[in-house]
Structure 1
Amino acid sequence: MTSHDAIPAAAIPEEGRSYRLPPAAVAQLVTAPQPRAGFASPDGRLVLTAELEDLFDLAYLAQPTVSVAGMRIFAHDNSQVKTRFYRRPQVVDVLTGKTVTLRLDERARLGLPIWAHDGSKVAFPRYAASGVELWVADTGTGEVRDLTGPVVNATLSPGYRQTEHVLNASWTPDSKGVLVHVIPEGRGPAPQRATVPTGPIEMVTVGRFSREHRWEDLNTSPYDEQLFEHYCSSQLVEIDVLSGERRPLGPPGLYCEPPAVSPDGRYVLVHRVTRPYSYWVPYRGFGTSIEVWHRDGSLAHVVANRLPTDTAPDSLKNAPRPRLVQWQAHEDATLVWAEAAEKGAAMTAEGTQYRDRVLSLTAPFDGPPTVLMRLGQTAQEIRWLADPRFALVYEFDSENEWIDVLLVDLPRGAPSKVFSYSQVDRYGHPGTPVTTLTSRGELVVRQDEGWLYLTGPGGSDEGDRPFLDRFNPDTLERERLFQSSPDHHDQPIGMPSPHAHELVISRESPDEPPDYYVVGGAGPLPRRLTQSPAPAPRLRTISRQMVRYLRGDGVRLSGILYLPEGFQPGARLPLVIWAYPTDYVQAEIASQVRIAPRSFNFFPSLPRRAAAPQLFATQGYAVLDMAEMPVVGNSRTRNDTYLEQLVASAAAAIGHLDERGIVDPGRVGMIGHSYGGFSTANLLAHCDLFAAGIAHSCAYNRTLSPWGFQRERRSLWEAPDTYVGVSPLFHADKITAPLLMVHGQSDDSQTSKPTQSLAMFHALRGLGKTSKLILLPYENHYLHAYESVLHVAAEELEWFDRYVKGRE
């Protein structure tokens, strides 16, 4: 490839530079609202829809935070930082079509809804300026009520990064009360850091310890421990939703899971974080006391005191570490959990090796647990059937990335295998069981006369066509009841009637945003429940098609091709490729299509909004999105050929579109996020197929993650050549195409830290390469500020216009 002129002053930080704006038409596309989200009630008779909010003014992200125990907390409202909210909720009755608007302030920012078991009410957190409140709504009338005021503690809540978090709250079995964690009364002000340190920070290791990833926002001092306890300690309370009466349960503590009331209402299962607080792992890796309380809050039984995950491995081997702890459905108060065999494997009396066992213990919890079953692999999930005699147990073979689903006869303890499939098998996925809640709030697999229901993606060579099947676990008979139509993407989300006579679906097409319909019943045509406007009509002017092509080694690849308005064959457009490589054990599974070509043609919410493939298509580019670049091989050694397979995949994509006369192979840009950005830099370093590249929020030096990265299982010392070979930093001298790097300054990724981009830019600068680094204040792994998204859209269009479209 030819050399490029340097960007004027590219290596000089531009402090105080203002955010840029793209052309107005581009800005309108990038900031267009997302389609409304939908949440079906447990019985499928209601659907709650709400507007999605995931873009904010930068001032929202710039609010003061406290970083402790692997998380970031907004001090002003005592919540873990989150960047997805819901607004203007409505409830649609599936049977009548009646829509009820919940009577909330239109500006109210809400969290995920928490349905009452009977669907008559729904609770949700409201994130206000002074704190988090818990509200409850009557789904029939739309009346709403604040149950708590701004005192809900929303810190130790499960979720992904800083995007979505589930409030640790739950309904009582009779749907008359809600259990939620609130800030303890009289908490007082936050502790203050000493002005002058009393000593240095010291770290000591003797012997063999655990091997952690390099987490962000960890505790680093006793002061951090004080902050952790101050912001995260909470009091569990039970609130009567009719009278508002509030009753505290148990002592204040660090509760990290939703409280679970036993089916008979007499006990509460809680998870409490215990000391010592690790400086190496987030709070979910801290020690945990799993406890059963009487309904009055007094202690009934300690299930286990789990050691921190950074404990020395020899100590962990012989310590019980219960997982999947839950109440058994259909029993009044029986606990069930899974735990690993000692030293990783054990033998049954019959001489069969097992790795996991599933145990149960019934109230009053004063005897030894009963072994329900032993498993040859790791228990991943337990699902109770509506028939109280049976359960489905999922076991996972991590070495082969394989899942077996066992039907367990609970009285006999006899399992039989009903499904067996690869974790990444799109075509062979049997589907996920449809669940419902019993009158006591027990989550069970729905059954009608013994048949259960399965919904899945319906992967095929033509792309996804979601389905609903019924399945008889006794005879293994299977019958397809519904499949997405050939010209729409129909996703089943609820079953309001027995035997699946009626089905609620989310329906969309390339030109139609998602809406909710009822299929089946009396009428021959789907009955519409909602009507959503298209948020960005201009996107209808670009075309979209699925393409398939062969890699040199015979692996069949696929992608979604976007073409600009008015494209004529033979015009030879500049090409942008978006990709995120994935690992597979088997070539035939790597060759599967993982695309929903009939879905709505709109910008993805995360993480690619600022550089959405459709955006480049509106500017005259051909875009190959979701371009498959599989890395195939043994789960331990496949990264040894990562680079060869990556380059072969890129060459196959460009060659296919070149043969069809669609693109100019000399004007191709590559773009990716996270692992995709890492792969973008590698492609620029190891082939001459690309005129320029854009890498978002990624790592360039894998030796800084010595205990594994992505799905690499070996350590740096086991595979040093691979770690160095796949690290673009070590091959920066080979890069000749211009590389634009974008990174959030507050990225909390274990591996893709901002310092990685700084180091890569430092190398490219010293080597005289053409590059630019954009660091975005307050942004995490994904971008959420309007200012950031619009700035990046302007920069990236300009980058490719100059170095790809404008290349001679």
Structure 2
Amino acid sequence: MLSYQPTHTQSLLARSLSRTGTASSVRIFCAALLGLGLSLPLNMPFNLPLGAGPVRASETQDITYQAAPAPLDQLLDAPFLPGISLSPDQMRYVLAQQQTLPDLAELAEPELRLAGLRLNPDNTAPSRTWNYVSLSLHQLRPGQADTGQTVAGLPAKPRLANLQWSPDGRWLAFSHSAARSVELWLLDSLSGVARQLPGISLNRAYGSPFSWLPDSQGLIVKQVTRTLPLPPAQRLPSGPVVTESQSQASPGRTYQDLLRNVDDVARFKHYVHSQLFRVGLDGQSSKMGSPGLIISFDPSPNGDYLLVRQLLEPFSYAFPASRFPQRVEVWTSKGLMVKNVAELPLADKIPIHFDAVRQGRRGIDWRADAPATLYWREALDGGDPGRKQALRDRLMLWQAPFNGSPRTLLDVSQRIEEVVWGRADLALVYTGWYQSRQRELWHLQPDTNQPARKLLSFSSEDRYQHPGLALTMRTPQGSSVLQTQGQDLFLAGDGAGPDGERPFLDRWNPFTGVKQRLWQSQAPYYERLVQLLDPNSGLLLTRRESVEAPPNYMLRQLGQEQPTPLTNFPHPTPFLASLRKQIIEYTRADGVKLNGTLYLPPGYQPGSGPLPLVMWAYPREFKNSNAAGQVKGSPYSFVRMSPWTPLVFLTQGYAVLDDPAMPIVGEGLTEPNDSYLKQLVASAEAAVDKVVEMGVADRKRIAIGGHSYGAFMTVNLLAHSDLFAAGIARSGAYNRTLTPFGFQSEQRTLWQAPEVYLQMSPLLHAEKIKEPLLLIHGEADDNSGTYPMQSQNLFAALKGLGAPVRLVMLPYESHSYRSRESLGHMFWEMTQWLNQHLKQTQD
């Protein structure tokens, strides 16, 4: 999910002001609309509302959080639709209600940022996660709905996560993040009562904190130790921080929250350090093995072994914890180490390429359909796609007790992305190569001498031809294996096509290639398969929605027209139930077909005349122009109003063109970004022409907006076109020289393609921006490349050039804003900005 909020930052244009109010203030920076170069005292009161008069240059001040305009204030308190968790035996399910928007105080709780992790030091839990606040238990009875029962015995103020069913479906384990620890709880699905297993303090700092044993009689849990010392809270450094490179390439993307010094190293070790325990259903526990920096632990399907992954020193100040050295071991069920499977060094030399991977054994895991057999992938090209080599990746097997040599199962010319195990004569291997956007599907018979067979080859960009993904089911031991019926397996997919998505279920025989369509979503609904409950009787669990009806879960019998509703969730935002939605199609000047989803506010009638319109987009790269124009989404999907979508503008009388295609195409050897600006402007121009031609928008009252890479797009369109009257850019990056080792889908470095980096950096073309621009950024942004200084530097440039610009820094918020206060203020800022620059604009 998302999170957004304000913190205390410093403008690059003027001296920093300390906030004089409470944490409920938002820092606002305003540059003069008139560009007169006037200079005013920084502490001058600011009493003019937006649009009430000219704002003088360099005004900086703190204001209190503003309330969202009606009816958006209702949206901030609207509940999220519950999630569903189906028991492995398919006898019952749990509906988990997610918390509503947290308040600012929750985001202001203690937080450490270490090696790419953000955690609360008080309870060793992730500091920025969404929790569940209530659970209800329901029986799955074909032919009838079940009102269920509210789970009893939960803590007073639940903050629940990590929901995991026992393999037999009797118990549901979950964590509760209390103030000083993370507790382990069990729900008995027969009684509907939950209870805490006392004396257990889970470690959620890195990875899952527990895992069920295959016999369902207990769990392996990871507990905090707090035995490694912490450095003093404040002390003088013992010396400088020195890093050195020994003439070996070590490229890396722009990471956030890295370790900075020896004190950070000590803190990281203190909070990640943990001890494994075996815990019974009665709460009795026994220690397993030695403590360490344990990040994962997985029992073998037969329960005899445990696969344990630990971090090793030395750490890095340039890479996150996922790149740190690792040791992978097999332990017995008693915690004794029996085999060192891999020692992986610091992954600091992976080339900047999406097909590049770590050297050595990677993706080590248990084969799901065997008692105790490991499998993994190894790069045959050293992980470097730049090497000229026919075969790239290898799939290996190693059977317990791990005395013999590992066995090679498959060599392929692409990267192995996923292996789905089924049985002795059936496993599927998905491979892919990003540079060509090609994927392959292979059929293995792992326990026979039959050679591997390539079943399919398709483009990852071509959604119309995607075959779907193979369905899996849970074994009695809790592993996920292919769901089969005789020689057949089952595929489920989006069913994308020129008329939008129509999800489907197919029966497919990988031995003969025979395929049969069993079911497909039908208008006026958008219905997706959740689970094939019974292949023999044809019983499905689906989730169905329509434009006006929110998603609800259904039991569907193949061959019967109407499903049986399991749930009846009400419309969360009924004030938007009557809005109009339409997928529109149009063509770019170079012939590329485009599309987007047009929304018109409630009450709007055809022929009522043009409206002010907000276009909200996000560019994507393609190697094929035909794939770039394929229709996304469904005309029948529910109009989801959430605080993070541009649909909020519908409540204020604006039309919205959501996700208009902004494809950046580079066919053959051409890189997409070589013509980024030309294609971007052409796509935007085609979208503007379409909505004006339809009569729903006024060419002079169209705003462009986006978040993250969409914000980057927004500022580039303001700099390189005159299509828009105003812009809103949230949490973007605007200077690509600050992300020199690649960004988004760009794999080349700044030194390989300097002209591309410079041309695509809107900060370097700020003098061309004349339209008013609203910049919003979280002060605690954790996304790679989108440091808060990106917005601060752009504001500084535009202010210095006399352009109309406003910068809002949201305290405590990361890349996605979360708190009720921040989102309410964001609504206020955006609607004020648009009202001033679109609604007050006359032809």
When normalised by structure 1's length, the TM-score is: 0.93
Once the two structures are superposed, residues 751-780 of structure 1 have per-residue CA deviations (whole angstroms, 9 ceiling, x without a partner) of 111000000000000000000000000100
Question: Secondary structure of 1:618's partner?
Answer: helix
Question: Secondary structure of 2:770's partner?
Answer: coil
Out of 83, 87, 111, the residue aligned to residue 37 of structure 1 is: 83
Task: Give the corresponding residue for 1:680.
Answer: 714
Task: Give the corresponding residue for 1:199.
Answer: 239
Would you say 1:477 and 2:518 are equivalent positions? no
Would you say 1:73 and 2:119 are equivalent positions? yes
d(CA) in 1 for partners of 2:559, 2:769: 64
> Displacement, 1:254?
1.0
d(CA) in 1 for partners of 2:772, 2:357: 54
Question: Secondary structure of 1:124's partner?
Answer: strand
Whether the aligned pair in 2 keeps the contact of 1:324 and 1:381 (CA below 8 Å) is no
Task: Give the corresponding residue for 1:517.
Answer: 554
- Aligned-partner residue type, residue 113 of structure 1: L
> Displacement, 1:312?
8.3
Task: Give the corresponding residue for 1:578.
Answer: 616
> Displacement, 1:678?
0.3
Change (3 A) 1:800 1:312: closer
Change (3 A) 1:148 1:684: farther
Would you say 1:240 and 2:280 are equivalent positions? yes
Moved more, 743-752 or 141-150: 141-150
Task: Output aligned runs, 1:279-318, within 5 Å.
Answer: 279-311=317-349
d(CA) in 2 for partners of 1:281, 1:251: 27
d(CA) in 2 for partners of 1:344, 1:780: 33
Task: Give the corresponding residue for 1:12.
Answer: 59
Change (3 A) 1:138 1:181: same
> Displacement, 1:194?
5.4
Task: Give the corresponding residue for 1:442.
Answer: 479
- Aligned-partner residue type, residue 83 of structure 1: T
d(CA) in 2 for partners of 1:541, 1:690: 28
> Displacement, 1:413?
5.4
d(CA) in 2 for partners of 1:500, 1:70: 48
d(CA) in 2 for partners of 1:210, 1:119: 47
Task: Give the corresponding residue for 1:652.
Answer: 686
Out of 797, 800, 807, the residue aligned to residue 834 of structure 2 is: 800
Change (3 A) 1:175 1:708: same
Task: Give the corresponding residue for 2:675.
Answer: 641
Would you say 1:178 and 2:219 are equivalent positions? yes
Whether the aligned pair in 1 keeps the contact of 2:77 and 2:100 (CA below 8 Å) is no
Task: Output aligned runs, 1:408-557, within 5 Å.
Answer: 408-410=444-446, 411-412=448-449, 414-499=451-536, 501-520=538-557, 524-557=561-594
d(CA) in 2 for partners of 1:448, 1:67: 49
d(CA) in 2 for partners of 1:542, 1:107: 37
Question: Secondary structure of 2:458's partner?
Answer: strand
d(CA) in 1 for partners of 2:472, 2:88: 8
Task: Give the corresponding residue for 1:119.
Answer: 169
Moved more, 146-155 or 474-483: 146-155
Whether the aligned pair in 1 keeps the contact of 2:620 and 2:663 (CA below 8 Å) is yes
Moved more, 572-581 or 113-122: 113-122
Task: Give the corresponding residue for 2:442.
Answer: 406
Change (3 A) 1:701 1:522: closer
Whether the aligned pair in 2 keeps the contact of 1:560 and 1:627 (CA below 8 Å) is yes
Whether the aligned pair in 1 keeps the contact of 2:323 and 2:347 (CA below 8 Å) is yes
Whether the aligned pair in 2 keeps the contact of 1:10 and 1:772 (CA below 8 Å) is no
Whether the aligned pair in 2 keeps the contact of 1:44 and 1:504 (CA below 8 Å) is no
Whether the aligned pair in 1 keeps the contact of 2:617 and 2:705 (CA below 8 Å) is yes
Once the two structures are superposed, residues 633-668 of structure 1 have per-residue CA deviations (whole angstroms, 9 ceiling, x without a partner) of 147611011111111111111101111111101110
Would you say 1:223 and 2:263 are equivalent positions? yes
Once the two structures are superposed, residues 515-558 of structure 1 have per-residue CA deviations (whole angstroms, 9 ceiling, x without a partner) of 11101169652111111111110011321111111111111111
Out of 396, 404, 410, the residue aligned to residue 373 of structure 1 is: 410
Whether the aligned pair in 2 keeps the contact of 1:69 and 1:282 (CA below 8 Å) is yes
Question: Secondary structure of 1:13's partner?
Answer: strand
Once the two structures are superposed, residues 164-198 of structure 1 have per-residue CA deviations (whole angstroms, 9 ceiling, x without a partner) of xxx342111111111121112x6377431452111
Would you say 1:666 and 2:703 are equivalent positions? no
Question: Secondary structure of 2:550's partner?
Answer: strand
Change (3 A) 1:131 1:388: same
> Displacement, 1:148?
4.6
Change (3 A) 1:10 1:298: farther
Whether the aligned pair in 2 keeps the contact of 1:658 and 1:664 (CA below 8 Å) is yes
Task: Give the corresponding residue for 1:161.
Answer: none
d(CA) in 1 for partners of 2:440, 2:751: 33
Once the two structures are superposed, residues 431-460 of structure 1 have per-residue CA deviations (whole angstroms, 9 ceiling, x without a partner) of 111111111222101001121111111111
Change (3 A) 1:420 1:31: farther
Task: Give the corresponding residue for 2:151.
Answer: 102
Task: Give the corresponding residue for 1:560.
Answer: 597
- Aligned-partner residue type, residue 175 of structure 1: S
Whether the aligned pair in 2 keeps the contact of 1:94 and 1:504 (CA below 8 Å) is no
Question: Secondary structure of 2:551's partner?
Answer: strand
Moved more, 413-422 or 686-695: 413-422
d(CA) in 1 for partners of 2:670, 2:338: 45
Can you give the 5+ residue segments of structure 2 that lack an aligned partner in the other structure? 1-31, 36-53
Moved more, 514-523 or 199-208: 514-523
- Aligned-partner residue type, residue 225 of structure 1: V
d(CA) in 1 for partners of 2:754, 2:227: 51
Would you say 1:693 and 2:731 are equivalent positions? no
d(CA) in 2 for partners of 1:384, 1:153: 31
- Aligned-partner residue type, residue 214 of structure 1: T
Question: Secondary structure of 2:465's partner?
Answer: coil
Q: CA RMSD in A?
A: 2.2
Once the two structures are superposed, residues 371-421 of structure 1 have per-residue CA deviations (whole angstroms, 9 ceiling, x without a partner) of 111111111111001x32221111111211221010112122521122222
Moved more, 99-108 or 691-700: 99-108
> Displacement, 1:504?
0.5
Change (3 A) 1:400 1:318: closer
Once the two structures are superposed, residues 542-601 of structure 1 have per-residue CA deviations (whole angstroms, 9 ceiling, x without a partner) of 211111111111111111111122323341111110101111111111111111322221
Task: Give the corresponding residue for 1:144.
Answer: 194
Identical columns (%): 38
Once the two structures are superposed, residues 587-616 of structure 1 have per-residue CA deviations (whole angstroms, 9 ceiling, x without a partner) of 111111111322221224xxxx25x32221
Whether the aligned pair in 1 keeps the contact of 2:553 and 2:565 (CA below 8 Å) is yes
Once the two structures are superposed, residues 104-160 of structure 1 have per-residue CA deviations (whole angstroms, 9 ceiling, x without a partner) of 247312114112222222111111222211211122321212125561100012xxx
Would you say 1:255 and 2:294 are equivalent positions? yes
Question: Secondary structure of 1:496's partner?
Answer: strand
Out of 756, 767, 771, the residue aligned to residue 737 of structure 1 is: 771
Question: Secondary structure of 1:113's partner?
Answer: strand
Change (3 A) 1:743 1:528: same
d(CA) in 2 for partners of 1:500, 1:580: 43
Question: Secondary structure of 1:414's partner?
Answer: coil
Task: Give the corresponding residue for 1:328.
Answer: 367
- Aligned-partner residue type, residue 78 of structure 2: A
> Displacement, 1:803?
0.6
Question: Secondary structure of 1:95's partner?
Answer: coil
Question: Secondary structure of 1:531's partner?
Answer: coil
Whether the aligned pair in 2 keeps the contact of 1:90 and 1:100 (CA below 8 Å) is yes
Change (3 A) 1:335 1:421: same
Task: Give the corresponding residue for 2:432.
Answer: 396
